Amino acid sequence: MSKVHVLHLYYDFFAMLDRRFKNPGADFSSGLERNTFWLLVMKINDCGGNMEKNMHLWEEYYQKILANPHRIQTEIAEALNSSGNFKAIDCGCGTGADISFLVEKGYEVSGFDMHQESVKICSDRFHGNPNVDISQSHFIDFNYFDCGLVLANLSLFFCEPKDFSEVWSKIDDAILPGGVFCGDFMGFRDSWVTDCDTTVCPLTEEQVNGLFSGYKVEQFKENDSQGVTALGVTKHWHIYQVIAKKAQ
Nearest Cα to Cα of residue 98 among 68, 127, 142: 68
111 binds ligand SAM (CB under 6 A): no
The only residue of 36, 81, 110, 153 in contact with ligand SAM, by rule CB under 6 A? 153
What's the DSSP call for residue 192? Answer: G
C-alpha 236/C-alpha 167 separation (Å) is 26
Contact 105, 81 (CB under 8 A): no
User: What is the rounded CA–CA span in Å between residue 181 and residue 148?
Assistant: 9
Q: Which of 101, 144, 158, 168 binds ligand SAM (CB under 6 A)?
A: 158
Q: Is 110 in the site for ligand SAM (CB under 6 A)?
A: no
Q: Does 150 bind ligand SAM (CB under 6 A)?
A: no
User: According to CB under 6 A, which residues from 179 to 208 bind ligand SAM?
Assistant: none
Question: How many residues sit in the footprint of ligand SAM (CB under 6 A)?
Answer: 17
- Give the residue, chosen from 36, 83, 100, 155, that forms a contact with ligand SAM under the rule CB under 6 A: 155
What's the CA gap between 152 and 248, in Å, rounded?
21
Pure H helices in 66-163: 72-80, 97-104, 116-125
114 binds ligand SAM (CB under 6 A): yes
Footprint on residues 40-69 left by ligand SAM (CB under 6 A): 58, 65
Interacting residues toward ligand SAM by CB under 6 A: 58, 65, 71, 92-94, 113-115, 118, 138-139, 153-155, 158-159
